[in-house]
Amino acid sequence: MTAKIGYDDVEVGTELPARTFPVTRATLVRYAGASGDFNPIHWNERFAREVGLPDVIAHGMFTMAEAIRVVTDWLGDPGAVVEYGVRFTKPVVVPDDDQGALIEVSAKVAAKLEDNTVRVDLTATSAGQKVLGMSRAVVRLA
Amino acid sequence: MALDQSFVGRTYPPTEPYEVGREKIREFAEAVGETNPVFTDPEAAKAFGHPDVIAPPTFVFSITFRAAGQVIEDPQLGLDYSRVVHGDQKFAYRRPVRAGDRLTVTSTIEAIKSLAGNDILDIRGEVHDEAGEHVVTAWTKLVARAAEEV
């Protein structure tokens, strides 16, 4: 479990490379199959509207999986993630077109902790709305 | 109707082992767009000191959430799942989940709250491997939205 980033190489405020992740209806169908979450709000527009949603929405766990990629791609070794938590604040609405939606993720080092670990705070937005809150990872650096 | 507070602290029996397969990890990694070979190539995983391919950090949710079904579907608890949304999710890892793991989950109700007519349920899932070693803990907050006035 060795990250390629050294503890001494980062400071509070160090920014990780930001990423934008596209999501289409096809992405959601694929994620439903891989994760086993077949809740129809993630693929059936009629059902989603019946329960008061504006349209089909992405799985919260899909957004959570995308956001941490900013951290794990920076680390090199995803096994260096010690803790990861999020709050689902707004849904990612995915229209039925070729573009779908975009999830924009940025992250920065928020605190240097003991045992070569640091806390990274993440920000995830879609269509200008914050979709994850309290989104934090603790990772072990080299 | 508010959920019964006496369920706080209740622990459900451990699940039958879930066997983590390389191809299931690959399928999940591809579904979330991961390209890191540590998820698909055992040699790449070994280069980082892992005995086999590891799973992306959120992979284990599929296992813990299935286990949480014991709580969600407990008729005595009486949660209205049709009104449930996922509020928070957190993981604390002792080590990454990897291919070959046989994982059991023990679910505990950590808290039940009622806020503005919403029922809020905190479930902790402790994940152990075949040797009984702790692998990861997952905390899931579910919010059952208040039923509309009739």
In a domain, A118, yes or no: yes
Query: What domains can you pick out in chain B, each with its CATH number?
Result: 11-19+59-144 (3.10.129.10)
In a domain, A45, yes or no: no
Minimal-distance CA residue of chain B relative to A59: B86
Q: Which residues contact A49 (CB under 8 A, 6 or more apart)?
A: A55
The ipTM of this complex is: 0.96
With b for 16 or more beta-carbon neighbours within 10 A and e for fewer, the B12-41 pattern comes to beebeebebebebbbebbebbbbebebbbe
How close is the nearest chain A Cα to the Cα of B30, in Å? 9
In this predicted structure, the answer to whether residue A66 has a pLDDT above a threshold of 70 is yes
In a domain, A50, yes or no: no
Q: Check which CATH number belongs to the domain holding A78 and give it.
A: 3.10.129.10
pLDDT, tens digit, for every residue of A120-139? Answer: 999 999 999 999 999 999 99
In a domain, A111, yes or no: yes
In a domain, A46, yes or no: no
Is A123 in CB contact (< 8 Å) with chain B? no
pTM, two decimal places: 0.96
Q: Taking residues A27-32, what's their average pLDDT? A: 98
Question: What are φ and ψ of residue B131, in 5° steps?
Answer: -80, 0
Q: Is the CB of A35 less than 8 angstroms away from the CB of B36?
A: no
Token pair listed for A41: 């709000």
pLDDT, tens digit, for every residue of B76-121? Answer: 999 988 888 899 999 999 999 999 999 999 999 999 999 888 999 9
Q: Is the CB of B39 less than 8 angstroms away from the CB of A78?
A: yes
Q: Domain range spanning residue A122?
A: 7-23+58-140
Q: How confident is the model at residue B150 (pLDDT cuts 50, 70, 90)?
A: very low
In a domain, A29, yes or no: no
Tally of structural domains, chain A: 1
In this predicted structure, the answer to whether residue B10 has a pLDDT above a threshold of 60 is yes
**% of chain A surpassing 70 pLDDT:** 99
In this predicted structure, the answer to whether residue B143 has a pLDDT above a threshold of 80 is yes
Q: Is the CB of A34 less than 8 angstroms away from the CB of B85?
A: no
**Are A87 and A134 spatial neighbours (Cβ–Cβ below 8 Å)?**
yes
pLDDT score recorded for residue B148: 65
pLDDT, tens digit, for every residue of A90-119? Answer: 999 999 998 999 999 999 999 999 999 999
Give the whole-angstrom CA distance, residue B109 versus residue B93: 20
Q: How crowded is residue A88: how many other Cβ atoms within 10 Å of its Cβ?
A: 23
Chain A interface, mutation test: which of B48, B50, B59, most A Cβ atoms within 10 Å? B48
In a domain, A130, yes or no: yes
